[in-house]
Amino acid sequence: MGKKRKHQNHFVDSANAKKKTRPNPGPAPGGGPSRAKGKGAGAADGAKKKEQKQYHQNQQPVIPFKPEDAILLIGEGDLSFAASLAAHHGCRNLTATVLEKNEKELLEKYPHASENIAKITGAAVPSKPTKPAKDDEEDDGDASEPEEDEEPTPAPADGDDEDEEEKYKPTLPNNNKILYNIDARTMKPFTKRTTTHNHHGNSTTTKHGVFKRIIFNFPHVGGKSTDRNRQVRYNQELLVAFFNSALPSLAPGGTVIVTLFEGDPYTLWNVKDLGRHAGFQALESFRFHSKAYPGYRHARTLGVVRDKRSGEASGAAWKGEERPARTYLFMRKGEAPEPLSVQKKKKRRGGEESSSDEEEEEEEEEEEEEEEEEEEEEEEEEEESEVELYDDWR
């Protein structure tokens, strides 16, 4: 087993790939030379995309939370992401929410979720059912022995796994919990009251949110409509309602984290604009690396795919966690740091009032270049991602 890569725990935009040069072969007389040149351009473009994909895969994952943070997870599906945070990232202050009314309904939709529940709550992982003893056989007490004792798990190939587990070994009491029947659009605020006293003996009570991070991975309403525009609008309505309901539950200085697949139709949702209209400011975005969350599996909105004849879970599961995705960070307006371009303007106007017209023109040119670079990066991201219709997997 190879050595594990350390994860970054600070917020860094990892979308700074090299700029893509688009070959322009131009017209050529006759069919042969132009066609040959076109093939060469296509091969070069394909190699460039492959190189960029490898570049993003080699980047260190950005982990947008700390183990001690109070984290609210919305729409957790089969709870595999929450289980990974608890088991591999040492998170002990998780509140994972699901839309299903109770545990029974959740397990009917995602039968394997029982193991994830055990990891989150710290309970023993349920073992596989053993064959019942026959009536004429006596119980010698061996049936109560856990299955792991009979076939011990082999040790890791090297010490990396042990070091990783030791690193995230829980030192705090487990306060993780699972809440059922929580709708992202209408959830009640999670708040607490704080009373402060001044030197005059007067007290002031304020109410604020309790969660440092509120995470909603891959929000989707499901296949409500076959009409593309309506489906986009339904998902936009879901996100707007989520932003509005999450705002009062967010602690001062906290962040809301939304992860979406890259490419069409998700880029049409305009998640940054939706957050801004709800009172948030987009801070940054970066690639979502599913491998940074061992055990995480992307769960379909409609549950496990089952065979039409037998009704059993299909073994040919679609691995959505392997599809390119992007994470967006939001903070309340007024709490978010000012963009670098705004800081430069204030510095020029406040500290150096005698700046020349040439300096102001240089600033404007720098801002225009930054905007052009951002637009080019977004175009590259759209070209890199595979365009898949959501109806194929929802």
> Percent of the chain having pLDDT more than 70?
53
Mean pLDDT to the nearest integer, 296-321 = 58
- Top pLDDT among 311 and 244 is at 244
Considering the domain architecture, whether residues 104 and 176 belong to the same structural domain is answered as: yes
Specify the range with the lowest mean pLDDT, choosing from 7-16, 105-114, 283-292, 325-334: 7-16
Residue 133: Cβ within 10 Å count: 12
- Top pLDDT among 49 and 289 is at 289
User: Is residue 34 included in any domain, yes or no?
Assistant: no
Last residue of a domain, one of 307, 322, 337: 337
Looking at residue 355, what is its pLDDT?
A: 47
Backbone angles phi, psi at 268, to 5 degrees: -75, -15
Backbone angles phi, psi at 261, to 5 degrees: -65, 155
DSSP H or E segment with residue 217? strand 211-217
User: Is residue 131 included in any domain, yes or no?
Assistant: no
- Top pLDDT among 55 and 216 is at 216
Mean pLDDT to the nearest integer, 348-363 = 54
69 band by pLDDT with thresholds 50, 70 and 90: very high
Considering the domain architecture, whether residues 200 and 314 belong to the same structural domain is answered as: yes
Q: Which of 34-48, 248-262, 287-301, 321-335 has the highest mean pLDDT?
A: 248-262
Last residue of a domain, one of 313, 337, 361: 337
Residue 118: Cβ within 10 Å count: 16
Q: How far apart are the first and last CA of the chain?
A: 34
Q: Is the pLDDT of residue 358 over 80?
A: no
Q: Is the pLDDT of residue 138 over 50?
A: no
Q: Which of 119-133, 145-159, 299-313 has the highest mean pLDDT?
A: 119-133
User: Is residue 212 included in any domain, yes or no?
Assistant: yes
Considering the domain architecture, whether residues 171 and 287 belong to the same structural domain is answered as: yes
Considering the domain architecture, whether residues 273 and 201 belong to the same structural domain is answered as: yes
User: Is residue 154 included in any domain, yes or no?
Assistant: yes
Summarised one tens digit per residue, pLDDT across range 97-133 is 999 999 999 999 999 999 999 999 987 655 554 444 4
Considering the domain architecture, whether residues 192 and 314 belong to the same structural domain is answered as: yes
Strands 94-97 and 177-179: parallel
Summarised one tens digit per residue, pLDDT across range 24-47 is 544 444 444 444 445 555 666 666
Q: Is the pLDDT of residue 245 over 90?
A: yes
323 band by pLDDT with thresholds 50, 70 and 90: confident
Rounded Cα gap, residues 188 and 73, in angstroms = 14
Considering the domain architecture, whether residues 207 and 169 belong to the same structural domain is answered as: yes
- Top pLDDT among 69 and 51 is at 69
Considering the domain architecture, whether residues 233 and 346 belong to the same structural domain is answered as: no
Mean pLDDT to the nearest integer, 148-155 = 44
CATH number at residue 95: 3.40.50.150
Backbone angles phi, psi at 196, to 5 degrees: -120, 145
DSSP states of 319-385 as a string? -GGGS-EEEEEEEETTTSPPPHHHHHHHHHHHH-TT--HHHHHHHHHHHHHHHHHHHHHHHHHHHHS
User: Is residue 197 included in any domain, yes or no?
Assistant: yes
For residue 33, cis peptide bond before it (omega within 30 degrees of 0): no
Rounded Cα gap, residues 29 and 121, in angstroms = 71
Specify the range with the lowest mean pLDDT, choosing from 54-63, 184-193, 333-342, 373-382: 373-382
- Top pLDDT among 321 and 150 is at 321
Q: Is the pLDDT of residue 372 over 60?
A: yes
Looking at residue 212, what is its pLDDT?
A: 98
User: Is residue 117 included in any domain, yes or no?
Assistant: yes
Count of the separate structural domains present in the chain: 2
Cβ proximity of 299 and 110 under 8 Å: yes
User: Is residue 32 included in any domain, yes or no?
Assistant: no
Percent composition of the chain: helix, strand, coil (DSSP 3-state, to 5): 40, 15, 45
393 band by pLDDT with thresholds 50, 70 and 90: very low
Considering the domain architecture, whether residues 225 and 167 belong to the same structural domain is answered as: yes
Cβ proximity of 265 and 231 under 8 Å: yes
Considering the domain architecture, whether residues 220 and 285 belong to the same structural domain is answered as: yes
Domain with 350, as residue range(s), is: 342-394
> Percent of the chain having pLDDT more than 90?
44
Considering the domain architecture, whether residues 188 and 329 belong to the same structural domain is answered as: yes
pLDDT averaged over the chain?
74
> 3-state class of 258 per DSSP?
strand
Mean pLDDT to the nearest integer, 48-52 = 58
Last residue of a domain, one of 322, 337, 352: 337
User: Is residue 133 included in any domain, yes or no?
Assistant: no
360 band by pLDDT with thresholds 50, 70 and 90: low
Considering the domain architecture, whether residues 326 and 241 belong to the same structural domain is answered as: yes
Considering the domain architecture, whether residues 314 and 350 belong to the same structural domain is answered as: no
Mean pLDDT to the nearest integer, 368-373 = 66
391 band by pLDDT with thresholds 50, 70 and 90: very low
185 band by pLDDT with thresholds 50, 70 and 90: very high
